[in-house]
Amino acid sequence: MPSPPPVNRDAVLVSREPLDGPYVLLTFRHAEVARSSRAGQFVMIKAGLSAEPPLRRPFSILSVDPAADTFRLFLKTIGPGTHALAALAPGDLAQCLGPLGRPFTAPPAGYEALLVAGGYGIAPFHLFSEELRRAGGRARVFYGGRSAADLQVREPFARMGVPLVPTTDDGSLGHHGRVTEAVEQYLDTRPGPVALYACGPDPMLHAVARLAARRGLPAQVSLDPWMGCGVGTCLGCVVWMQSASEPRPHYRCACTEGPVFDAREVVWPGEESSRARVEAAAASTEAR
Ligand SMILES: Cc1cc2nc3c(=O)[nH]c(=O)nc-3n(C[C@H](O)[C@H](O)[C@H](O)COP(=O)(O)OP(=O)(O)OC[C@H]3O[C@@H](n4cnc5c(N)ncnc54)[C@H](O)[C@@H]3O)c2cc1C
Ligand code: FES
């Protein structure tokens, strides 16, 4: 079923819950986002009604409450856009367009979904776990961060009964090391059929894609490029992709054709696709 079109409206901030460090949970009222969002979709939003800062910022939809017409975001404050949003008080307005983008696709029946998150990349997996649970599916979360302070969204998974494996670079919580190491350890226990889903920093997504390719597992990744408009007009978000049926790589808009993509189709920075290498070699042979 095609997604309903995104709706632009002034969204009132209903609640603001500061967390440790640079993190905050923000709940906005926006009926269409609350009622029709799917996991992996996002909103383009900016604080206030003024023209400054000029561009909205993209954020994954953490959770929705259709009965209250509200949705929730999990923000890491890093620059002007996120600081302005985090400084809103209940009752303040934000300009919000959504829901946008392509959601995650659930795995086939009988598969366990392994949800691999880095930092604020945990956001889409709250909604995805709910969707999977409603459909009778199984999920397991691997949640990595630099330290325990970066793993702020754990309680909703405990409430849903979804197992969560925390990992930290400094060993302050859970597995001491990379999140992909914990995924590998779990795969070595020989679970049944699994599908990988990943959201987080590019190096982590790339590592998950390599792991999936090595083990022959299906994987979807939610990419995190810079986005200016969210609707396919500015071309600020283009990513280099190549599907199995395409003879050579080409650009796709992550905002309209993603942000969720099949990991096998992403041409990762610094890694030419093997198909492109074959093409280039063939072209240079022909030219001689
Ligand atoms: C589909 C999507 C979903 C996202 N979901 C979330 C979310 O749930 N929670 C959350 O906290 N953030 C999320 N982000 C990232 C968020 O959009 C950026 O952190 C935000 O735009 C930064 O805006 P700013 O004005 O505060 O900082 P800016 O001044 O715009 O940026 C500050 C610094 O961060 C870098 N930066 C900006 N945007 C990104 C980005 N997308 N990826 C990596 N580095 C970036 C800039 O290059 C700069 O160095 C998401 C991004 C995308 C594309
Ligand atoms: S963000 Fe403008 S085209 Fe994708």
| Model confidence pLDDT, tens digit, residues 115-156 | 999 999 999 999 999 999 999 999 999 999 999 999 999 999
For range 79-95, the mean pLDDT: 95
Q: Atom 26 in ligand 1: which residue has the minimum CA distance?
A: 79
Report which DSSP code applies to 169: T
Q: Which residues pair with 102 in a beta bridge?
A: 259
Atom of ligand 1 nearest to the CA of 58: 17
Q: Is the CB of 177 under 6 A from ligand 2?
A: no
Confidence label for 264 from pLDDT (cuts 50, 70 and 90) = very high
C-alpha 67/C-alpha 72 separation (Å) is: 13
Q: Is the CB of 125 under 6 A from ligand 1?
A: no
Distance 232 CA to ligand 2 centre (A): 4
Rounded to a whole number of angstroms, the CA Rg of the chain reads 19
Strands (E), the chain: 7-18, 23-29, 42-47, 57-60, 63-65, 70-76, 93-100, 112-118, 138-145, 164-168, 175-176, 194-199, 219-222, 238-241, 250-253, 260-262
Confidence label for 276 from pLDDT (cuts 50, 70 and 90) = low
Distance 57 CA to ligand 1 centre (A): 7
The vertex-90 CA angle with 87 and 94, nearest 5°, equals 65
Of the bound ligands, which one is closest to the alpha carbon of residue 234? Answer: 2
Q: Is the CB of 152 under 6 A from ligand 1?
A: no
* CATH 2.40.30.10 in the chain, residue ranges: 7-100
Of the bound ligands, which one is closest to the alpha carbon of residue 251? Answer: 2
CA terminus-to-terminus distance, the chain: 50
Atom of ligand 1 nearest to the CA of 124: 8
For range 72-94, the mean pLDDT: 96
**Is residue 167 a contact partner of residue 181, using CB atoms and an 8 Å limit?**
yes
**Is residue 131 a contact partner of residue 83, using CB atoms and an 8 Å limit?**
no
Atom of ligand 2 nearest to the CA of 253: 4
C-alpha 51/C-alpha 286 separation (Å) is: 54
Which CATH number fits the domain 7-100, given the four candidates 3.40.710.10, 3.40.50.2300, 3.30.460.80, 2.40.30.10? 2.40.30.10
Q: Is the CB of 44 under 6 A from ligand 2?
A: no
Distance 129 CA to ligand 1 centre (A): 23
- What CATH architecture applies to the domain 104-222? 3-Layer(aba) Sandwich (3.40)
C-alpha 110/C-alpha 193 separation (Å) is: 7
Q: Is 102 helix (H, G, I), strand (E, B) or coil?
A: strand
* CATH 3.40.50.80 in the chain, residue ranges: 104-222
Report which DSSP code applies to 266: B
pLDDT(286) > 80: no
pLDDT(236) > 70: yes
**Is residue 220 a contact partner of residue 204, using CB atoms and an 8 Å limit?**
no
Atom of ligand 2 nearest to the CA of 230: 1
Query: What b/e readout covers 151-188, taking b as 16+ CB neighbours within 10 angstroms?
Result: bbbbebbeeeebebbbbbeeeebbbeebbbbbbeebee
Q: Is the CB of 226 under 6 A from ligand 2?
A: no
Q: Is the CB of 85 under 6 A from ligand 2?
A: no
Instruction: Name which residue leads in pLDDT, 140 or 286.
Output: 140
Tokens standing for residue 15: 């609640």
Atom of ligand 1 nearest to the CA of 73: 8
Q: What does pLDDT average to over the chain?
A: 92
pLDDT(278) > 50: no
Place of tokens 């079923």: 1
Q: Is the CB of 251 under 6 A from ligand 1?
A: no
Specify the pLDDT at position 272. 62
Q: In which region does residue 48 sit, left (phi positive, over 0), alpha (psi from -120 to 50) or beta (all else)?
A: left
Instruction: Give the strand pairing for 164-168 and 57-60.
Output: unpaired
Tokens standing for residue 44: 């383009």
C-alpha 139/C-alpha 204 separation (Å) is: 19
Tokens standing for residue 274: 């093997």
C-alpha 156/C-alpha 74 separation (Å) is: 12
Contacts of 15 (CB under 8 A, 6+ apart): 25, 26, 27, 90
